[in-house]
Amino acid sequence: MTETRKPLILNVDDDESILTIVNHRLSKAGYEVISADRVSKVQELLKGNIPDLILLDIMMPEMDGYQFCAQLKQTAELAYVPVVFFSALETEVDKKKAFAAGAADYITKNFELSKLPEIIKKNLRTGKEWEKFKTYSETPTGPSSSLDFLKFKEILSARLNLSPESKKQLSSITPTNIYPLAATLGIPPSQMAKEIALYLKLKYVEQIYPEEIQLDVLPVSFCKCYKVLAIRRSGADTVSFVLSNPFDQDLLDLLRQPPTPPGPLNFLVAEPKTIDQLFSLEGKEKSKDGDAEIHTIEESDTTENPITKLTTDLLTRALQERASDIHIEPM
């Protein structure tokens, strides 16, 4: 009888005490754990190991967790491996950046550590569920022109009163290139998305707020490729899927496959830009409570000024330790 392989967890945190405690907790729970206190060490570990899950701190030397996660997601072997951020940071902007980087979950360091193995177990299940999306992305066929799509083009042509030449161009559009070619006809992406929503009797979404995104439903690599998001609107009991191209019947069928989020499936339409902007790690992000500015400190800002670097390091450590106050005594 062969022994069942233990799930392999990669734990990355520059705080040695947290690294030791978490490693012990996960090993005791029956997981195999490998760990590193900096990004450069992770690269070596990954040469011989593909983890089932990555537990990742955000504020680290060399490269922050967001940047490193985004880098990992560009690797085919790791694109669909769940990454769980384990951080002292807990604002909505931090969680939005976690999604943009490719996280499956986000937990803060002030929660009960005894619950960590259960969270790991839940995200390992997520990794198994994501295998269908990986398989789908590895065998892409592209959406075909269905009778429904042909009918949509006929109605759109009549509604927009297009010239014979423009009608001919519109007739050549496929679900794959609907937005780029529509732009050449003078149809903005937002208008095209509204026309699609109107025809399919779906709701058009103009704005998606970061706090509405459901991290563990769809892998970010898949979201980026197929322009689809899983969100939960304020007050809603069920998850909705936002797509830029609901004419992709294969994609709709995949989203309907179990396990699906509880409750009836709801599809919404948004232009590609509305979805793409949520994958940005920098800039000004909008939330329901107002605008939140993301400020990043570049390495060049600190190398020339040792006082700035010292202050930055001190504040970083204070955030990690969740300090309520900072006192600096003169020497």
Cα separations in angstroms, 212 against 27, 99, 241, 287 = 34, 11, 11, 9
First to last CA, the chain: 67
29 touches 117 (CB < 8 A): yes
Percent share of the chain, pLDDT over 90: 47
Q: Where are the domains of the chain?
A: 8-129, 143-288
The answer, yes or no, to whether residue 314 has pLDDT greater than 70, is no
Cα separations in angstroms, 312 against 58, 299, 309 = 15, 11, 5
C-alpha to C-alpha distance for 112 and 70, rounded to whole angstroms: 28
Residue 114 DSSP label = G
Section 297-307 average pLDDT: 41
143-288 has which CATH code?
Answer: 3.30.300.160
pLDDT class of 288 with cuts at 50, 70, 90: low
Cα–Cα nearest to 80, from 201, 218, 187, 204: 218
Task: List residues bridging with 107 in a β-sheet.
Answer: 86
Spell out a b/e string for 162-179, using b for 16 or more CB atoms within 10 Å of the CB, else e: beeebbeebeebebeebb
DSSP per residue over 269-308, as a string?
E--HHHHHGGG-SSSEEEETTEEEE-----HHHHHS-HHH
92 touches 293 (CB < 8 A): no
The CATH architecture assigned to 8-129 reads 3-Layer(aba) Sandwich (3.40)
Q: What six digits make up the tokens of 138?
A: 């590895």
Reported as a single tens digit per residue, the pLDDT across 62-85 is 889 999 999 999 998 999 999 999
Cα separations in angstroms, 126 against 97, 247, 261, 270 = 20, 27, 12, 26
> Would strands 83-87 and 105-108 be described as parallel, antiparallel, or unpaired?
parallel
> Would strands 8-12 and 32-36 be described as parallel, antiparallel, or unpaired?
parallel
Residue 218 DSSP label = S
Percent share of the chain, pLDDT over 70: 82
Residue with the bigger pLDDT between 253 and 285: it is 253
Section 297-324 average pLDDT: 46
**Which residues, 6+ apart, have CB-to-CB distance to 296 below 8 Å?**
282
Reported as a single tens digit per residue, the pLDDT across 183-209 is 888 899 999 999 999 999 999 999 998
